[in-house]
Structure 1
């Protein structure tokens, strides 16, 4: 078993980053879980991506009224606008547990929203960062188990847990393999792994729970914001591999994840179709396109016709526009 009794860096401080967009109920459930993590030295950064449902006030009210008064160890709450975030490393004491709420002036998507928090965490001097979707709940031992990995491998880029769905009908999964010839990221299913294995290398990890360290974020300069939403997690894991890091899933820790908790299906379909092509533009070699392009066109066309056959015209339209914008090389947030 992984020895979590002593970390190779016993005083390592961790920033846990939670991105919110119009989902304060999920975010509060996530915070309830995170605040119970069994680890002495971590702070929480909640980034709101310009929500329109009064998320910030609801989250702050819950923290002030429900949680902080009952927990003496959580007595530092800071609220910043994205353009007024302090850059001095001594603006917070990393030895004290703090909750920082950052209000973005627009919706920057998954990539841009998390980058705001990652830049802040790096500037403040946090050693590690755990990036969580707001529709997750976590194992209370998750930080101890992640940090223990450094005793076994010093060159990790990203770590992820096994992902347990809220919906019991769905399968548990844990990272996966990337087929660059097809531009396809596949998921490993938990049933295929020996219970004796505690961590193993993978190509990519789910962006719903990514653990990394400061030097990796500095070298990779965070997420690529041209994706806006979806495939940015695959991209950053692949870029880490190209920088000679390795990515691992830590099988004996977990998060529960709703998947696309606050993202409409049409939005997810559009960005999934468009960004798979964008990923290949950025990472594929010329010879990969001989296999990727026909498979991509055939698969997307089949997807559109199946959606039409089922009468799901809105999602079919989203897939079509994703395909169109892929060839038009449109990037970033989808233009209305």
Structure 2
């Protein structure tokens, strides 16, 4: 089996994730093509890797996760590319080589491959396939590690740029599966995803701003995804109980003057309402 690292590009999307990016890339061979897209005004990674000819650094305003991958994809000329979150652990050259092996084993008849997340076995928010099957077709893989066949990615137009954050992997996996560019989980490749640890805040206000904006975008993207793939009416029916619960929670926390929880449910409701009335995903953290 002829395996070539020059068939692969690594893509890392950073948002003030300098130390995590450095740790991640230290585990990857220095001859691999790497593209870093920084979704903030911090350019210190560009300076840090200025002497590494295999690393291409791009800086953008905070355009979101999927759109940042699309920016990187326009520069990719390799057969495959591997999107890696900065907060992954237990990634190494052997794992990258294993993905290349499985791509050949599948005879390049796939859209995207993903690993198994060993530390998230009991996490109900992440649906994983039967771990007793090495290769398993699945509806969706986690966006933390996505090994794309570039021509399959291009065939569906990449990520939906209306989505700033959340459900972008659900959307692209659904579109790939519909075009018979199948999504597979490789269960004997195990890594860890330390969720929520990729962003390194400057202060406590940034932490709170990011949390509230994450709630807003999760709600906005959930309705958008449901509307896009299951009709507007179906999305409204599914989301309506969440609107009622959020409204009730807002009233309760307002009466008891619980500002933290009040803001949480305000942002949740705002994200849903803005998506329902077809407003764009405009919310951004105040940093």
Q: 1:164 to 1:265 in 2, by over 3 A?
A: farther
- The counterpart of 1:314, out of the listed 263, 273, 285, is 263
The whole-number CA distance in structure 1 between the counterparts of 2:149 and 2:213 is: 30
1:252-291 mapped onto 2 (5 Å cutoff): 252-260=188-196, 261-262=198-199, 264-285=210-231, 289-290=233-234
Q: Which has the higher helix share?
A: 2
Structure 2 residue 249 is matched with structure 1 residue 295: no
Following superposition, the deviation at residue 305 of structure 1 comes to 4.5
Query: Are 1:16 and 1:43, in contact at CA under 8 Å, matched by a contact in 2?
Result: yes
Tell me the equivalent position of 2:59: 103
Residues 108-152 of structure 1 show CA distances to partners (whole Å, capped at 9, x for unaligned) of 11111111111111xxx2110001122223432222221222344
Tell me the equivalent position of 1:45: 35
The count of corresponding residues between Structure 1 and Structure 2 is 267
Following superposition, the deviation at residue 202 of structure 1 comes to 0.6
The whole-number CA distance in structure 1 between the counterparts of 2:46 and 2:275 is: 39
Following superposition, the deviation at residue 199 of structure 1 comes to 1.7
1:130-149 mapped onto 2 (5 Å cutoff): 130-140=82-92, 141-149=94-102
SS in 2 for 1:120: coil
Residues 233-290 of structure 1 show CA distances to partners (whole Å, capped at 9, x for unaligned) of 110010101111110111122332222332822122111111111112222247xx45
Structure 2 residue 165 is matched with structure 1 residue 229: yes
Tell me the equivalent position of 2:275: 326
TM-score using structure 1 length: 0.71
Structure 1: gaps of 5 or more residues: 1-5, 65-74, 78-97, 166-170, 177-185
User: How much is the aligned-residue C-alpha RMSD, in angstroms?
Assistant: 2.8
TM-score using structure 2 length: 0.82
The whole-number CA distance in structure 1 between the counterparts of 2:190 and 2:27 is: 12
The whole-number CA distance in structure 2 between the counterparts of 1:99 and 1:335 is: 28
Tell me the equivalent position of 1:25: 19
Tell me the equivalent position of 1:150: 103
Query: Are 1:160 and 1:209, in contact at CA under 8 Å, matched by a contact in 2?
Result: yes
SS in 1 for 2:75: helix
Structure 2: gaps of 5 or more residues: 200-206
Tell me the equivalent position of 2:113: 159
The whole-number CA distance in structure 1 between the counterparts of 2:128 and 2:71 is: 32
